Structure 1
Amino acid sequence: MSTSNGSAASSFIIVQGSDICLPDASLPDRLSSGVVTGSQVIDAAESRVRQFTHGYALPEGIRSSALRRFGVSDFERFQEEEIEKDVVAKKVEEYVSAIADELEDDPLVLSILDGRELRLYLEDEDDFAMLAENLFTELDTEDTGKIKRSSMSKSLDHLGVDMGVPPASDFSQVNDILAKHGADGDDELGQAQFAQVLQSILQEVADSLAENPVVTNTNLKIFNGSKIRKILCNEKQLTDIAEKMLAANPEGLGSLESARKFLETNGAEFGVPPLDIDETTSLYDAVFAAVGITLKSDPKKGKENFSETVKDILEKFAEQLQVDPLLLPREN
């Protein structure tokens, strides 16, 4: 699997829709009596899903999409809505199914942070010295050669998940570790002092994570061909995509060049990675070389054959991504 976010994190958990199931069909006691609201239905369903996401709550983007699949267009209103007793269980299952469908199209990529990434830097004097120097330079915004000790917490924010440091919201121990090293103080540190304190803090963070690893969201999107394979099973969707390609570039009717140009800009909608890094450039080159067909210039002829050409292109993308999935930063 290729990662292209500069992340040092090495352990990923991919949660797909097929991982979500309902082994226990019983409802929580609080839903067995009294008035049940839409908010309670949502909480019950998401609580079940957290069994399969290692306790991690769904990111808001995935959650919003799942709610739309579930048929909720006005979230605030649905939260207050009273649900009939005899359909509560069905509603919970429907929302879980909607979440599973969303995760099938857009799997959740989590990272296990257990201190290994930090120890790699701590064990290499040169790497750590460079890391500390770069952090100090970033924090010394006024270029005084001094920073306040209270800036130590900002240094962890700068490192972030990419360097194996969980966000404070997922790692409550970090506040105790910072307090132990006086990170709330106003005294000033030079670069050497900063590096020394940083090393001690990172060592404790690494030790704490080794004992209790943290699962956190990577904010990465995986392209593994699953969404493309669903499209390939739907002739109408294939036809619609071909028509969109033709409409987007009428001057290049039915050509591979026009298809590539369209996918480079709009491919993410269909599960094709956006063209913005070396890995995806190589992928596009390989796919279009494999297709190896340039449609004839006759517009009518091009339209008649173009759907099959689009299918061939998407099949090649799906094959390549199944063998070597790509992890790319999720657009905000």
Structure 2
Amino acid sequence: MSNTGLTIFDGDVLRSIDLSPPELQHGVTGAQLLEISESKVSESLSGLSLPPNLKDAAISRVSDGDDVSFRRTEFNQQQASEKLGVFISAVADALRDAPIVVSVLDGSMLKMFLEDEDDFAMLAENLFTDLDEEDNGKICKSEIRNALVHMGVEMGVPSLSEFPILDDIIKKHDADGDEELGQAQFAQLLQPVLQGIADVLHEKPITIVQNVEIFTGSRLRKILADEKTLKCLIEKTILEVTNWKDSQGWPDLIKTLIIKNGKEFGLPPLSSDNEPVALLYKTIFAQLNNRDKQTADASTKDGFMDALKDILRKFEDLLETTPVYSATNL
């Protein structure tokens, strides 16, 4: 699934991969089979190379933990197909539990800016204003590099490390000098540079893993399904407070506990800068405030735990239908 320029790889696309290895006159070694498996997975994930943790988990499952022997073993066509299925299933299962969020940069976003004169003019003006720190109406031509950094992946521009040809595009348009430019001149220089980037990306898109985590409620769902783990977590959580018997203040207390301990329950961290996450908490907490007091007796320990579990289930339901993103520290 995808949203706002991001693509979420959650394993679903892998479950329809053709499990037939290439036609072989002879057998295929485990080492060769791993290369075939990785190639098929990467192709289905828009060219994304498997992160080391996913790759290692898949190899461990398909080799039954004996990587060395597996690589040396020769498999016939049927065996290779079965092993290929095991490898792909392992990756799909891992992505289901921890989806990867990526941006596929193919130049389309840049072309949208370039094709709309008003949008491009506003973009160029905003970039120029940000870069004109001395507010004198002039910036150095070489600031075009910083303009591209300001745009970033969110606006369809890859970093130099991900897209080395970016340096060649800048030099091609003589955008590396010390000459000073006004706003109109800056826009005239920016346009062909962005067009060059868009053209290259159109021919060869690149996939970039985003520094965000997707919350679908899957972890919370597992916790809620495991009564023992859930009970331990909730008891650990309410040890932090002594006033859960307060029949008037328990809704606010539950809010505080969930916000403070949300990570352990698989919830995204609450942040005012993340509007979807803030709306998620606001929606659920509004239901907490409107809860029927006759069915919300939290004056006993069991009643308080039931109230907390009920709110967690509401988080699970909403996250399942409306996943949210949160920046990670990776």
Same fold (TM over 0.5): yes
Residue 188, structure 1, aligned to residue 183, structure 2: no
For the residues of structure 1 that align with 2:27 and 2:243, how far apart are their CA atoms? 59
For the residues of structure 2 that align with 1:119 and 1:186, how far apart are their CA atoms? 26
2:257 to 259, 262, 272: 262
- Output one character per residue of 1:36-72: Cα deviation in whole Å (capped at 9) or x when no partner: 67xx78655543321331111245xxx4377469769
Equivalent position SS for 1:216: strand
Correspondence list, 1:117-136, <5 A: 117-122=109-114, 123-124=117-118, 126-136=121-131
Residue 13, structure 1, aligned to residue 10, structure 2: no
Answer yes or no: is the 8 Å Cα contact 1:67–1:95 preserved in 2: no
For the residues of structure 2 that align with 1:309 and 1:70, how far apart are their CA atoms? 43
2:140 maps to which residue? 147
- Output one character per residue of 1:228-254: Cα deviation in whole Å (capped at 9) or x when no partner: 33333322332232123223x232447
- Output one character per residue of 1:258-295: Cα deviation in whole Å (capped at 9) or x when no partner: 44323323324433221012432332232133242676
Q: Which amino acid aligns with 1:13?
A: T
Q: Which has the bigger relative contact order, CA under 8 A and spacing at least 6? A: 1
For the residues of structure 1 that align with 2:194 and 2:259, how far apart are their CA atoms? 41
Answer yes or no: is the 8 Å Cα contact 2:127–2:150 preserved in 1: no
Equivalent position SS for 1:309: helix
RMSD of the TM alignment (CA)?
A: 4.1
Q: CA deviation at 1:144?
A: 11
Farther off after superposition, 170-179 or 225-234: 170-179
The alignment covers a number of residue pairs equal to 305
For the residues of structure 1 that align with 2:55 and 2:195, how far apart are their CA atoms? 40
1:279 maps to which residue? 276
Give the direction of change, closer, same or farther, for the CA distance of 1:43–1:309 in structure 2 (3 Å limit): farther
For the residues of structure 1 that align with 2:254 and 2:94, how far apart are their CA atoms? 27
For the residues of structure 2 that align with 1:91 and 1:244, how far apart are their CA atoms? 43
Q: Which amino acid aligns with 2:18?
A: P
Q: Percent identity?
A: 32
Answer yes or no: is the 8 Å Cα contact 1:238–1:307 preserved in 2: no
> TM-score, normalised to structure 1's length?
0.72
For the residues of structure 1 that align with 2:279 and 2:204, how far apart are their CA atoms? 39
Q: CA deviation at 1:171?
A: 4.2
Q: CA deviation at 1:161?
A: 0.7
Q: Which amino acid aligns with 2:279?
A: S
Q: CA deviation at 1:14?
A: 1.8
Answer yes or no: is the 8 Å Cα contact 2:9–2:45 preserved in 1: yes
Correspondence list, 1:34-113, <5 A: 45-59=37-51, 63-64=52-53, 67=56, 82-84=68-70, 85=72, 96-113=88-105
Q: Which amino acid aligns with 1:50?
A: S
1:330 maps to which residue? 328
2:226 to 234, 250, 257: 234
2:214 maps to which residue? 222
Equivalent position SS for 2:242: helix
Give the direction of change, closer, same or farther, for the CA distance of 1:181–1:12 in structure 2 (3 Å limit): same
Equivalent position SS for 1:251: coil
Indicate the structure (1 or 2) with the bigger Cα radius of gyration: 2
Q: CA deviation at 1:317?
A: 0.9
Q: Which amino acid aligns with 1:32?
A: V
Q: CA deviation at 1:201?
A: 0.6
Equivalent position SS for 1:166: coil
Q: CA deviation at 1:207?
A: 4.1
> TM-score, normalised to structure 2's length?
0.72
Correspondence list, 1:144-183, <5 A: 145-147=138-140, 149=142, 151-171=143-163, 173-183=165-175
1:24 maps to which residue? 19
